[in-house]
Structure 1
Amino acid sequence: MSERLISPPTGSQRRSASTSFGGHRRERRPGLLVVAALAALPVLFTAAHLAFGANQSAAAQWLTAALGLALIVAIAIATPLRRDVDMIDVRVPAMLFVVVVSVALWTLTSWGPGGSHPAWSWADITPGALTVDRSATLGEITKLLGLASAFAVGALQGARRDRGQATIEVIVWVGGVYALIALMSFLSGTQIAQGGRLTGGFLSANSGATVFGVLTVLALSVFLRDWRRTDGRGLSSRLTRTAVPITCATLSVVCLILTASRMGMAATVCAAGVLLVWTFARQTAGRGSILAAGGVLIATSLLLLVGGNDLLWSRLGQTGVGLNDRAALFATHWDAFIASPLFGWGLGSFDTVNLHLMTAETAPDVWTIRATHNVYLQWLEEAGVLGATPMFLLIGWIIARSVGRVGTGSSNGLLIGLICANLVILLHGLTDFALQVPSIAAFWSFLLGLQYAYGLRSAG
């Protein structure tokens, strides 16, 4: 397969894609109606975040239906402009996704080593299946189709550079509004979840930390892009241009700190650090501006951290206890994976497996747990090696292709921001379950599609 997703634009295409302004090249800006259309899914994700992450079965299915409808509308709009569809090479991702779904469908049957899972015979139910919970597995397959729809819509929106940039900016703007709503809800005492930690509408503050971490990194990338573009225009002009991303980044950081999520903070700091270093390394001129901008943001974050709530500091002091609890949970469910390594126990089967593994000694600690707090281990446990491997390869392929397309030019700062935002999710997923929350999984799928196709075409 060719490694090029699209041929380079011709000279006339490049000239029509941008204009010169103050020594910088400026992309054509989409109209207001286009921006409103691009905001549809970010607004949908925000509404789902605030509704407990659509973490109830019915809500998750409604979200899946909405994502499917969004894809139909996006294709209907893009089809007349065949270039928007034809330029996106999705053969490898599509093939890997089909393998994932096929393995999941296979577990609905009893065709495997040893036949049906013994749980079916214990319950005296025939015919059995490889999965221990057919209905849960069917529900997860449906959700996977919704995630594929979110990925496809993200790819369509990102294929044209002007639309891709506008989409990222809209995500940051909507994210700022979301952070403000979450903050006001927390401070006013109207937040549903209690415990002294900001949750952002989720049932877990750690889930909120994942989203606010991603929004922080994306807002930082927009800020760095705008700061670079206004180099030499004076401090007043630069601050005016960067006021919106600064505000959105600050709101997201405040919310992140108030979640008191230890790993959420660590993952975000790591991702933001990679973004700053990567941007600095690629920038041939104006590095002092990047250092100054990064220094201001770091100082602001430290100031907010020092003035943060006492719960964060108390939780940092209990990190050792948390790690011990996680280690015990991981060991229990690693044993479950080893017991059924090929096909796993079936997608969506965690609750059933957890109850099966519970003993009188472990019941006080695990009976309320609804996830392994490690997305990689949970995928191995539920999907087995045959189902988890193509999923891991799918995500790795998308990110690797995105990294390979960054190049050495100065116009891919937002693409770097999207790539670095993945680190928040991937690192936090080592100790938490954010990707088991439907709205977060859909949001990330959308971002993966956006970065996979970002800027394949200069403009329309």
Structure 2
Amino acid sequence: MRPEGRTRGIGDAPRSTPIGRSRRLILAVPPVLITLAAFAGGATSTALAPVLTTTLALVLAASLALDRHVRLTGVAGPAILFGALLVYGIWTLTPLTIGEAPPIWALIDATPSTTIDRSATVRELVKLSGLACIFLIGVLHGQRRGEARFAADAVIATGVALLTVCMLLHALGFEQTGFGTRMVGPMGSPNVIGTAAGVYLVLALARLAQRLEGRPIHGWRDIARQLQNGAPFVAAILLCAAALVLSASRGAAAATLTMVAVWAGWRLVRGRSPARLALGIGLILVAVTAFVFLMTPRLDTLDLAVDVGSSERLSGFSIYWQTLYASPLFGYGLGTFDAVNRQILTSETYTALWQNGAAHNVFLQWLMEAGAVGSALMFATIGWVLLRGWGRVRWAGPALAAGVFLLHGLTDFTLQVFAMAALFAYLLGLHAAPRASRS
């Protein structure tokens, strides 16, 4: 195919080359795998996580072998940072500790290391390798605008299928108990399914806006006609909103509404009218202020995943921060949260910590496990991808979805669920994909 005169991104409007059936199947594989992993409890078990990682590695190898025209370009910076994170994780398995080894090693006759649970750290490194694979798959799938749109639509379609099944199971009463009338879903937490619903909602909203962008609208008939053309996305938005309500996750709802408001404000800011500029800036400020106000005062008005209430959640945060101060630079090892939680369990901390399988704050949990060094590498990798990818594409869907993940990550643990972390990594890959010279 002859190269076009200028480069194009995922959001460019001109015509694109039809996608063959075999190529469509390849593009649909990652979203289908993510959905199947979500149905399998989020692929968090020690058996399923390596299987999913191996499958993603095979898909990446197949994608590179079947299409020699695409290249893994423009991701050198994040690749170096992420590679350094993996090397750091491997180093924590060795006896080459810096400073004193964790006190637990003094109680047993074994070679000390920075991590207090070597097997858990190895499992976490395997998961990180799988996330790297699906990120690179997203980079490959996002280079051609037609394929990137199809991949995004496949993500939305599989997400709608996941939420539809969850709603049916909820309506029929085939769900685990312990969360009242809230929809739990196969991943075991209403807040996780709430985050997923928010992510799919903003993706569908951004695709609908992209489809309507640049088309003249004169009167209500044109509006109705355009909405009819985008009916699949409208239906997806409504279903995701219903799932978000059924999950009763106020943290997920707050994160979703904040990102929608910020996105709408940004679109207004891009206009040349002073009134649009002022309105857009005001909308962004209101959204950010509302989120900060909602998140800081009382956690019991936001997140209900811990039934014992907000005081225990706040006590848990305080205890985890104190635990972090004992090993701030290098942490206790990737994947060692359960081991750390058991170590600090006492008669005084039992009420706040006994049922916690995660810190309910992904940033705090990363600091506990990887320390300041490992966390800096991970956060810098994600930040680099978001900033570099922003100038390459016009479709804001992946960035909005990342915002929902990260904002709700302040009060919950969705990104600790492997299937949701894989979705996050794939969307980051679509976001960071370089513009291809061909359609």
SS of the counterpart of 1:27? coil
Counterpart for residue 173 of structure 1: 157
Unaligned segments of structure 1, at least 5 residues: 1-9, 19-23, 292-313, 407-411
Alignment of 1:245-256 (within 5 A): 245-256=233-244
What per-residue deviation string (whole Å, max 9, x for no partner) do you get for residues 154-206 of structure 1? 00000112211111122112222222111111111123455221123111111
Counterpart for residue 95 of structure 2: 110
Counterpart for residue 121 of structure 1: 106
Structure 2 Cα separation of the partners of residues 388 and 182 of structure 1: 34
Alignment of 1:52-451 (within 5 A): 52-78=41-67, 80-81=68-69, 84-85=70-71, 88-123=73-108, 125-192=109-176, 194-195=178-179, 196-232=181-217, 234-282=222-270, 322-406=309-393, 412=394, 414=395, 416-451=396-431
After superposition, the Cα gap between the structure-2 partners of 1:168 and 1:14, relative to the gap in structure 1 and judged at 3 Å, is farther
SS of the counterpart of 2:112? coil
Query: Do the aligned partners of 2:362 and 2:415 also contact (CA within 8 Å) in 1?
Result: yes
SS of the counterpart of 1:116? coil
Structure 1 Cα separation of the partners of residues 437 and 425 of structure 2: 23
Displacement of 1:52 in angstroms is: 1.2
Query: Do the aligned partners of 1:35 and 1:170 also contact (CA within 8 Å) in 2?
Result: no
Alignment RMSD: 2.7
Alignment of 1:37-48 (within 5 A): 37-48=26-37
Query: Do the aligned partners of 1:354 and 1:366 also contact (CA within 8 Å) in 2?
Result: yes
Unaligned segments of structure 2, at least 5 residues: 280-299
After superposition, the Cα gap between the structure-2 partners of 1:443 and 1:169, relative to the gap in structure 1 and judged at 3 Å, is same
Structure 2 Cα separation of the partners of residues 370 and 15 of structure 1: 50
Counterpart for residue 13 of structure 1: 4
Structure 2 Cα separation of the partners of residues 379 and 355 of structure 1: 17
Structure 2 Cα separation of the partners of residues 60 and 106 of structure 1: 22
Displacement of 1:323 in angstroms is: 4.2
Counterpart for residue 32 of structure 1: 21
TM-score of the pair, normalised by structure 1: 0.83
- What is the letter of the counterpart of residue 420 of structure 1? L
Counterpart for residue 457 of structure 1: 436
After superposition, the Cα gap between the structure-2 partners of 1:319 and 1:69, relative to the gap in structure 1 and judged at 3 Å, is closer
- What is the letter of the counterpart of residue 160 of structure 2? G
SS of the counterpart of 1:361? coil
Structure 2 Cα separation of the partners of residues 337 and 316 of structure 1: 25
SS of the counterpart of 1:345? coil
After superposition, the Cα gap between the structure-2 partners of 1:338 and 1:283, relative to the gap in structure 1 and judged at 3 Å, is same
Structure 1 Cα separation of the partners of residues 211 and 387 of structure 2: 26
After superposition, the Cα gap between the structure-2 partners of 1:446 and 1:344, relative to the gap in structure 1 and judged at 3 Å, is same
After superposition, the Cα gap between the structure-2 partners of 1:15 and 1:401, relative to the gap in structure 1 and judged at 3 Å, is closer
- What is the letter of the counterpart of residue 122 of structure 1? L
Displacement of 1:132 in angstroms is: 0.5
Displacement of 1:322 in angstroms is: 4.6
Q: State the percentage of identical aligned residues.
A: 36
Displacement of 1:283 in angstroms is: 5.6
Displacement of 1:115 in angstroms is: 4.4
Displacement of 1:279 in angstroms is: 2.7
Structure 2 Cα separation of the partners of residues 17 and 266 of structure 1: 34
Displacement of 1:446 in angstroms is: 0.7
Displacement of 1:277 in angstroms is: 2.0
Counterpart for residue 3 of structure 1: none
SS of the counterpart of 1:70? helix
- What is the letter of the counterpart of residue 238 of structure 1? Q
TM-score of the pair, normalised by structure 2: 0.86
Structure 2 Cα separation of the partners of residues 56 and 370 of structure 1: 13
- What is the letter of the counterpart of residue 77 of structure 1? L
Structure 1 Cα separation of the partners of residues 133 and 314 of structure 2: 35
After superposition, the Cα gap between the structure-2 partners of 1:194 and 1:329, relative to the gap in structure 1 and judged at 3 Å, is closer
Structure 1 Cα separation of the partners of residues 211 and 164 of structure 2: 22
- What is the letter of the counterpart of residue 57 of structure 1? T
**Number of matched pairs:** 408
Structure 1 Cα separation of the partners of residues 26 and 18 of structure 2: 14
Structure 1 Cα separation of the partners of residues 270 and 312 of structure 2: 42
What per-residue deviation string (whole Å, max 9, x for no partner) do you get for residues 344-375 of structure 1? 10111111111111111221331111111111
After superposition, the Cα gap between the structure-2 partners of 1:284 and 1:40, relative to the gap in structure 1 and judged at 3 Å, is farther
Query: Do the aligned partners of 1:206 and 1:261 also contact (CA within 8 Å) in 2?
Result: yes
Structure 1 Cα separation of the partners of residues 223 and 321 of structure 2: 55
